[in-house]
A and B are shown apart, each in its own frame.
Chain A
């Protein structure tokens, strides 16, 4: 589904290289996890996939279902099925959560040549998904992420994912800042979406999330490259030993 080949990315302004030849292939139906030290380039990867400005791809390619992802605008990537749950969800004062969700859903439908969703169906869909994530109606009435606690923001990301039903989901540290119960809700939300046609790329620092969302493959990203890949046991190795051995082994 997602294929990243020899991806080199630098910061546009400073010309500082962040990703240096990253290769990654995620098949439909699979969950891949990415772990790695702070500053290794995990968020950069997620932003480059989503199409954020400020990064220059100097080499390599990214395709989603064979389509050149890097040639698309951010909204086209979303319509093509890509979703990024942000490490730091953005507050947007003055734009209501519901308006935002409906506008986003309808824009994606329109881009795919589908009809707009009816108000009744939309309300039902959102209420249903919000209930599962323990998000109350009051929160939905507020402006996007404004006045939300850290954990509420993360749950709101998963709500958006559940409503938009993307096929390639990238989760950037969705578990950080969550209490134990919230982490379970988020994991359940993700697991409910797992199916043959959908893939996940889960960026995390902690083994705990991966107890709930069991990955098929775990990658270690260091200094802009995947330095090791393995099964779920690799995450446990990181949890107990840290990165030192892995990085030494890779060097």
Chain B
């Protein structure tokens, strides 16, 4: 026991010593100092922690990242051709030449690094706040680390309907880059925003997004991670969803040596809705972990978790999903589905679905399965002349369809679906 505590303390000290607090003497200072204090108190995650039993956090907390070769984007950049305001980060560093002007009707956009010296900013009520609230009941040290040390990110306040998405493009160029980004989004009552994020970002990425959706607001997040094989990422998405607001987040992940995507969502007002979904495909050295924690803290809210993984050649998929229904959160409608398609016997899926319910008038269901392609369906397709490879691809896409259906915007869904098809084709 003491030995373990020491290991954690040593690892935490080594990591903290390798960083320096970014510049920013203004409103942000207390938030960063608080996060650093919290990080020191909880310590970095260890392999033996219950919350990390399926995913070794070692490479995420080491002072230096493991290098990862950037790949050329064969299919072009994600969401290409789509009208969007583009904000580009290369290896975690803002790239003004490649980015659009940060101006969009109905939206205030600032760069974190550019406003960190100011005395005050609207984001100070949220920056590190949703993250701190999300540390209960399970500590998330990598998110506290991010709040303390992330030098940059985007702060978005939406007051209207900008009519086009904001697209954060994350390029990876340097083989040993180590990026940390912290974004904050506030959707004012009745306002709406679609936020797209794409790209491998860096050899190692630690990202936090804090999203506060006010009454009747709409926030849709569509993310594409990939395709660099060696990249590693720990991301946290903290969301607070007010009454009658609509929150959706969808993530498509290609490749990556290690990805841990945490989504911590609280339904804070009556009749709010939150859908968190993901599709991930990986081959060989691929470890993908979706860890989701949805809290129903108000009445008549609806939550959905739909996660699908396609694993082959020894790839590993992890799902830890929880629905917590607080006392008084009556008429909760909670749904959780996690499924893995194992394309060979070496691949594995580790799942821990959980329900914790403290209200009596509640409808909650969860299901988790892992299996191979249906041999009858495969034979049926082949008996009509479809080649074995193509039949497998058709069935694999069909398996992922249910997750892709969670994307509200059909054009985005189609774009991602085409990329999945291309990914599968390249491998067959």
Contact = CB atoms under 8 A, between A and B. Distances in A.
A, B in one complex:
yes
Interface of A: 50-53, 73-75, 77-79, 83-84, 86, 89-95, 99-100, 103-105, 107-108, 111, 143-144, 160, 164
A73 B383 CA distance: 9
B420 to A, nearest CB: 12
B101 interface: no
A100 B394 contact: yes
Contacts of A52: 379, 383
A31 B270 CA distance: 67
B6 interface: no
B385 A95 contact: no
B382 interface: yes
B388 interface: yes
Max chain A C-beta neighbours (<10 A), residue from B375, B381, B395, B402: B381
Given A52-B379, A94-B399, A108 B394 contact: no
A108 B385 CA distance: 5
Contacts of A77: 383
B386 A103 contact: yes
Given A50-B383, A94-B395, A164-B385, 15 more contacts: A51-B383, A53-B375, A73-B382, A75-B388, A78-B382, A86-B383, A90-B380, A91-B377, A92-B395, A100-B386, A103-B394, A104-B381, A104-B385, A108-B385, A143-B398
Contact of A92 (B381, B390, B402): B381
A96 to B, nearest CB: 9
Interface in B348-402: 374-377, 379-388, 390-391, 394-395, 397-399, 401-402
Interface residues of B, number: 23
B385 A90 contact: no
B393 to A, nearest CB: 10
B378 to A, nearest CB: 9
Max chain A C-beta neighbours (<10 A), residue from B377, B380, B395, B397: B380
A94 B390 contact: no
B382 A75 contact: yes
A94 B397 contact: yes
A107 B399 contact: no
Contact of B376 (A79, A90, A105): A90
* 4 tightest Cβ-Cβ pairs between the two chains A and B: A94-B398, A78-B385, A108-B385, A104-B384
A66 B382 CA distance: 22
Max chain A C-beta neighbours (<10 A), residue from B375, B387, B395: B387
Nearest to B401: A94
Contacts of B384: 75, 78, 83, 100, 104, 107-108, 160, 164
B385 A86 contact: no
Given A95-B394, A95-B395, A100-B394, A79 B379 contact: no
A103 B379 CA distance: 15
B382 A103 contact: no
Contacts of B387: 75, 107
A89 to B, nearest CB: 7
Nearest to A105: B385
Contacts of B377: 90-92
Interface string B175-219: 000000000000000000000000000000000000000000000
A53 B395 CA distance: 18
B398 A74 contact: no
27 contacts: A51-B383, A52-B379, A73-B382, A74-B383, A75-B387, A75-B388, A75-B391, A78-B385, A83-B384, A90-B377, A90-B379, A90-B380, A92-B374, A92-B380, A93-B398, A94-B395, A94-B397, A94-B398, A94-B402, A95-B395, A100-B386, A104-B381, A104-B384, A107-B385, A108-B384, A144-B380, A164-B384
A49 to B, nearest CB: 10
Contact of A104 (B375, B379, B386, B397): B386
A51 B385 CA distance: 12
Contacts of B381: 92, 95, 100, 103-104
A75 B385 CA distance: 4
B379 A74 contact: yes
Nearest to B376: A90
B148 to A, nearest CB: 44
A111 to B, nearest CB: 7
B382 A99 contact: no
A241 B153 CA distance: 84
Contacts of A86: 380, 383
A73 B385 contact: no
B385 A111 contact: yes
B386 A75 contact: yes
A73 B382 CA distance: 8
A91 B380 CA distance: 9
Max chain A C-beta neighbours (<10 A), residue from B383, B390, B394: B383
A51 B381 CA distance: 12
A33 B24 CA distance: 85
B380 A89 contact: yes
B399 to A, nearest CB: 7
Max chain B C-beta neighbours (<10 A), residue from A86, A95, A104: A95
Contacts of A103: 381, 386, 390, 394
B235 to A, nearest CB: 28
A100 B379 CA distance: 13
Nearest to A90: B380
Contact of A74 (B376, B382, B394, B401): B382
Nearest to B404: A94
Max chain A C-beta neighbours (<10 A), residue from B386, B390, B397: B386
A51 B380 CA distance: 10
Contacts of A51: 379, 382-383
B367 to A, nearest CB: 15
